[in-house]
Amino acid sequence: MGTVILGTGSCLPERVVTNHDLAEIVETNDEWIRTRTGIKTRRIAAAGEETYRLAARAAEQALAMAGVAAADLDLIVVGTITSHMLMPSTACFVQKEIGATKAFAFDLNAACPGFLYGLDVADQYVRADPSRKILVIGAETLSTRTNWEDRNTCVLFGDGAGAAVVGGGPQGRGMVGSVLCSDGRLWSLLHMHAPVSNNADLEEPDHPGVHIIMEGREVFKYAVKAMETSISDLLHREGVSLDEIDLFIPHQANIRILNKLVERIGIPLEKVFINVEKYGNTSAASIPIALDEANRGGRLKPGNKLLICSFGGGFTWGASLINW
Nearer residue to ligand ACO within complex by CB, 174 or 312: 312
When asked if residue 289 is in the footprint of ligand ACO (CB under 6 A), the reply is no
- Is 84 a residue of the active site? no
Q: Which of residues 29-58 bind ligand ACO (CB under 6 A)?
A: 32-33, 36-37
When asked if residue 114 is in the footprint of ligand ACO (CB under 6 A), the reply is no
Choose the catalytic residue: 11, 19, 92, 112: 112
Distance CA 82, CA 146 (A): 11
Nearer residue to ligand ACO within complex by CB, 173 or 278: 278
Distance CA 80, CA 175 (A): 22
Choose the catalytic residue: 19, 281, 295, 323: 281
Distance CA 50, CA 117 (A): 22
Cβ at position 103, least distance to ligand ACO in Å: 29
Binding residue for ligand ACO (CB under 6 A) from 17, 136, 223, 267?
Answer: 223
Helix, strand and coil in the chain, % to nearest 5: 40, 25, 35
Cβ at position 251, least distance to ligand ACO in Å: 6
Phi, psi dihedrals of residue 135, rounded to the nearest 5°: -100, 120
Find the Cα–Cα–Cα–Cα dihedral 175, 179, 185, 189, rounded to 10°.
Answer: -70
Stated length of the chain: 324
Cβ neighbours of residue 266 closer than 8 Å, sequence gap 6 or more? 242
When asked if residue 225 is in the footprint of ligand ACO (CB under 6 A), the reply is no
Nearer residue to ligand ACO within complex by CB, 8 or 283: 283
- Of 115-123, 133-141, 147-155, 175-183, the window that binds ligand ACO (rule: CB under 6 A) is 147-155
When asked if residue 220 is in the footprint of ligand ACO (CB under 6 A), the reply is yes
How far separated are the first and last CA of the chain, in Å rounded? 14
Distance CA 80, CA 140 (A): 6
- Of 78-86, 129-137, 249-257, 262-270, the window that binds ligand ACO (rule: CB under 6 A) is 249-257
CA 213 to chain centre: 18
- Is 275 a residue of the active site? no
Binding residue for ligand ACO (CB under 6 A) from 141, 230, 281, 323?
Answer: 281
Binding residue for ligand ACO (CB under 6 A) from 66, 112, 137, 289?
Answer: 112
Distance CA 123, CA 132 (A): 10
Give the sign of the dihedral formed by CA 227, CA 233, CA 237, CA 240.
positive
Binding residue for ligand ACO (CB under 6 A) from 312, 316, 321, 322?
Answer: 312
- Is 251 a residue of the active site? yes
When asked if residue 324 is in the footprint of ligand ACO (CB under 6 A), the reply is no
The helix (run of H) or strand (run of E) holding residue 138 is: strand 134-141
Q: Which of residues 59-88 bind ligand ACO (CB under 6 A)?
A: none
Nearest to 96 by CA among 53, 127, 58: 53
Find the Cα–Cα–Cα–Cα dihedral 264, 268, 271, 276, rounded to 10°.
Answer: 60
When asked if residue 18 is in the footprint of ligand ACO (CB under 6 A), the reply is no
Q: Which residues are catalytic?
A: 112, 251, 281
Q: Residues interacting with ligand ACO, by CB under 6 A?
A: 28, 32-33, 36-37, 112, 151-152, 155-156, 190, 214, 216-217, 219-220, 223, 251, 253-254, 256-257, 281, 311-312
